[in-house]
Amino acid sequence: MRTLYGGFDKVGPTKNDFKSFKRDLNRYIYEFDADMMIKRLLRKKEYMPNFSMEYITAEDGVLRGLFWADEDAKSNFSVFGDVVSFDAAYRRNKYNMMFVPFTGIDNHNCNVTLGAAIIGNETAETYSWLLKVFREAFGRAPPVIVTDQDPAMKKAIEDTWPESRHRLCMWHIMDKLTAKVGATICNSTDFKKRLCAIVWTDSILPDKFESEWATIINYFNLVDHEWLQSVYQIRDTWIPVYYREEFMLGLMRTSSCSESENHFCGQFCNPACTLVEFIGHFDFAIEAQRHEHMKNDHDTSNTNVAIWAEDFVMMREDDMTVYCTCKRFEQFGLLCSHIFCVLRMLDIREFPQRYILRRWTREAVLNSAPGAILGINETEDRYNEVNRVVREITYSTKSVINKLVTNFDALCSFRDHVVNYFKTADEAVVNAPRKSRRERFAEITGNTKPSDVTVRVPIGTRYKGMGKPKRMKSKREIAISQLGKKSR
């Protein structure tokens, strides 16, 4: 029987023929997938105001890096971009390309995604390109950037963002403690407990930390331990006691912000998904995150705010300057309970305005981007003016609803007033014609007409920490492989 595989004149295809056919098929799928993803994002960039998207390829067209951020992400960065976590330890697609989220802390002390990228390798050159397009999209670099100990990241930040303060995530460092020092000493003694007591705190001074560190290291005979010596030499980049007066939002003291972000996105993604599927899952995850932010805004608007619950407080009444030795305001941007107690004792009814940071207020950021209704070429004054008017309308409407919620008749009257105003709004807006099914499909997929593939995804990408490339075999496969082997 003749075969159809390339017109081979033989009984059937060989094993090499199947491998070649599978390799060609996978190559076609890879190329089509990357091309569709790029076209989809380029379509967004064309029609969505202030949407940023940049990508870079190698000489053979293989995708090396992709970055994107929408209007809402930029709005969030303008408020919450003071401390940003940057991590590339998240692999969530079938090509082993790294997903890189830029993460901050919002006014509810929750994660907020400020931008995202996919990279094909972890070189300093790729990271430098990513940080450069990030600056171009947002107009500035964050004042503080928190990463792990990746040397390529460190070099890229030094070269591209020299004005940013680079800090190391202490969660990543302390997570290595058992593996580096040994499970015996960490689990069988109080070494880990004593070390964590001076690391995971900012209530002591640097001199106290250094003396306690030396005591612990000497007691457990770890003076010559290479890894402990190395992390001690860079203690000013990751130990919180050295940042008692630096605005860090507690980002380095708590569990890793980026690890939490990865867990959040992992609920919506599949490691075997294509790039087009991944982008769709990411959009869905971001919508869920922003919905949670709106829910938190609603909850804080209708509940009392809790405050932190004995340090020394000093106050200068002539200019209302307050200072507490716990340094909570210097680190978190929030007045501590000690200062609240002093203000209450002095019968001060109005807080000093300089201690009310916008990023922690309910009005920190709008849940939608009213500026998106403007053209891309609008001036900043015009943009701020529209935002101010929309903010007044939004909060006035919420206030009216909260006051009338117990009066059904008045609430219905307000509803009728809003509904009747829709007619006036419709007359002032020129509605565009309804899009056809073909146009809507093209907008979703980014593929308007057949074209040559220009972007390919990498195949066989390897990263540090991935382990052996071999997959785990099932018990059935192991049993079959043992058949025919002579037993000793």
pLDDT tens per residue across span 47-92: 887 899 999 988 878 888 999 999 889 989 988 888 898 877 666 6
Name the band, by pLDDT with cuts 50, 70 and 90, for residue 403.
confident
Residue with more model confidence, 396 or 377: 396
- The candidate with the shortest Cα–Cα distance to 88, out of 262, 280, 217, 340, is 262
pLDDT given for residue 255 in this prediction = 44
- Across-strand partners of 165? 144
Residues 94, 75 within the same domain: yes
More confidently predicted of 254 and 219: 219
State whether 92 and 49 are in the same domain. Answer: yes
% of residues, the chain, pLDDT over 70: 66
In terms of domains, do 323 and 292 share one?
no
What pLDDT score was predicted for residue 5?
44
Average pLDDT, the chain: 76
Given a cut of 80, is residue 418 above it in pLDDT? yes
Res 376 pLDDT > 60: no
In terms of residue numbers, what domain contains 137? 17-297
Alpha-carbon gap, residue 237 to 273, rounded angstroms: 37
Average pLDDT over residues 344-356: 72
Label residues 159-180 b or e (16+ Cβ within 10 Å = b): ebbeebbbbbbbbbbbeebeee
Q: Which of 35-49, 86-100, 188-202, 440-454 has the lowest mean pLDDT?
A: 440-454
Say if residue 252 is in the same domain as residue 346: no
Hey, how many other C-beta atoms are within 10 angstroms of the C-beta on 281?
18
Structural domains in the chain (count)? 2
Tell me: do 190 and 315 sit in the same domain. Answer: no
Domain shared by 160 and 216, yes or no? yes
Residues with Cβ within 8 Å of residue 6, at least 6 apart in sequence: 17
* Domain end among 246, 267, 297: 297
Q: Which residue has the higher pLDDT, 463 or 220?
A: 220
Residues 108, 220 within the same domain: yes
Q: Are residues 235 and 172 in the same domain?
A: yes
Do 138 and 264 share a domain, yes or no?
yes
Residue that finishes a domain, picked among 297, 315, 341: 297
CA 72 to chain CA centroid, Å, is 14
| 115 exposure class (CB count in 10 Å sphere: 0-12, 13-18, 19+) | buried
User: pLDDT digits over 193-213, tens only?
Assistant: 999 999 888 778 899 999 999
Q: Sign of the C-alpha dihedral, residues 28, 31, 34, 40?
A: negative
In a domain, 188, yes or no: yes
Residue 176 lies in a domain: yes
The burial class, CB within 10 Å (0-12 / 13-18 / 19+), for 405 is exposed
Same domain, 111 and 187: yes
HEC readout, 271-319: CCCCHHHHHHHHHHHHHHHHHHHHHHHHHHHCCCCCCCCCCCEEEECCC
pLDDT digits (tens, 9 = 90+) for 16-31: 767 777 677 666 666 6
Q: How confident is the model at residue 306 (pLDDT cuts 50, 70, 90)?
A: very low
pLDDT > 90 fraction of the chain, expressed in percent and rounded: 21
Distance, CA of 191 to CA of 209 (rounded, Å): 15
Q: What is the pLDDT of residue 11?
A: 53
Whole-structure pTM value: 0.65
